[in-house]
Structure 1
Amino acid sequence: MDNSAKDNKNVHVLAFCSELVIRGVFETVEVNFLMVGHTHEDVDALFSKVIAQTINKDVLTLLALMAEIWDSEMMHPVPLLLEEVAYYKSYVDNFLGPLVDHSQPLGFRFSIANNVSIYRCLFTVDGPWCPKEGHTLWKKEDGQFKFPMGEPKALKLPSIHPRLNEVSPFIDNLTSHLKGTFQDPTSVGFRRYNPIISYWKKVKKQLECIQPLQDENLRGGFWPRTNHGTRFTLAQQHQETSPDGSVDDIIVIDELQQELRAENNLMMQP
């Protein structure tokens, strides 16, 4: 991630990494920040592929753009429409202590030691994780560390209405431009662009009807399941007992099928 205290290198991002370990989603979590001069490498590489994919093409709808993004890489990136955001900051603020030793290091490792969630820092590429005893992000109350329970609430996103006047002119300009490319209803231009015009008119109408999300609960849940390690554990046991140290693909495939069958229960319940 970018080495930015405002967006990434802050107590809330690091607390999320710590909670992933506390909740048993992962045994350890490592997060690294880019050195100065090495920003946005992966992001820039992804968008350069998207640009190459869409060059000299008319990508006139959001669905068409999502399809082009999908086709831009062999390992298909999946574009999604963001409909809700968790208010994680308010969820953890009352449980966090001071963040120490975070300005200089570029690497952080979160783990459990002696039943305490700790993090260690990496100051150089080949250096040790330190301090050995680790730091903790969480406050103590009556001698015990306290953690937030349940799930974060949904962040109330601002309504689209205040900015609708900024979006509508662009939609009107596009539909007017497309209408000007044809005159004859039997022409190729009509058959090609009239569905696009109808699409954007529907989008504009839908924007006018959108209301702010009233429900404070996240519809999709927040915390992932914690049985992710089953497949790894079985494969590791098989590897230890196998004469050649290989992992039987059947074990992996069977466990993956179990994961897929349970996809309608993907989130932990509070």
Structure 2
Amino acid sequence: MLSIGEFSKICEVSTKTLRYYAEIGLLTPEEINPENGYRYYSIGQLKTMLLINRLKSYHFSLEEIKAVLESDVDQSEEVLRSALNRKRREVQEKLKSLEYTLGQMSQDILNLEQGVPIMSYLDQIEVQLVETRPLNILSLRRMMSRDDYALGYGAYFGRLYEMIATEKLTMLGTPMTIYHSPEYDPAGNDTEFAIPIAKAVKGTRDLPGGLCAKSVLKGSYSELTSVYAKLREWIEHEGYVLVNSPYEIYVTDPNQISAGEELITEVYFPVKKK
């Protein structure tokens, strides 16, 4: 048996952290002396602690690690493999995002060295006035936080695709998202996921057509806030007002392209003259 201090030293984990792990049921001491409260860990628990450290280095949360450790013995390897695959996808997405950010920073530095203002890219965003046609959309509407967006887009559009396949419906366009909240709330925003279809069935509604200020983003979704800012500036400058919820149409499928620069997103702001 190892004292908590010895266990701490070998695994390079503070005794405070070990006590917290015991408190949340992640790793409890093999033995606690009832007289003095001293904690002791078995040699076998070294392997568990090393696994915890390894999974933490892979950016697993303590809750995720606990779920892996508590899985049935017969299924533990499969649970771990599935969890690692999921986390690898998350890390790959973060790497893509960091690579994009690094490229953006490099371009900003180059522009500044050449005397080009850092925000001049806003002047390159084009806005046009278009007349859209009414659409019949199959949709799901939810309150979504920022984290929900990252994890939920695929899930909710996946459910819509399943409904379309089950009901043998005909799609008339690519997926779209409609943002109904009047302001941004980190706790949750009123978001509608939709796909245009030919037939009106249960779960569908009409999306009215009409006059819209439209812009097209070719690149990462992280640039959408710039497009929204440009559209609002254009609407104000040209004497229009927003009359309905803005929406995005995803022309390209992010799962079918090799680089974020290939993404094409259309942004629509329904408007009318003041």
TM-score of the superposed pair, with normalisation by structure 2: 0.21
Q: Which has the higher helix share?
A: 2
Structure number with the bigger relative contact order (C-alpha 8 A, sep ≥ 6) is 1
Q: Which has the higher strand share?
A: 2
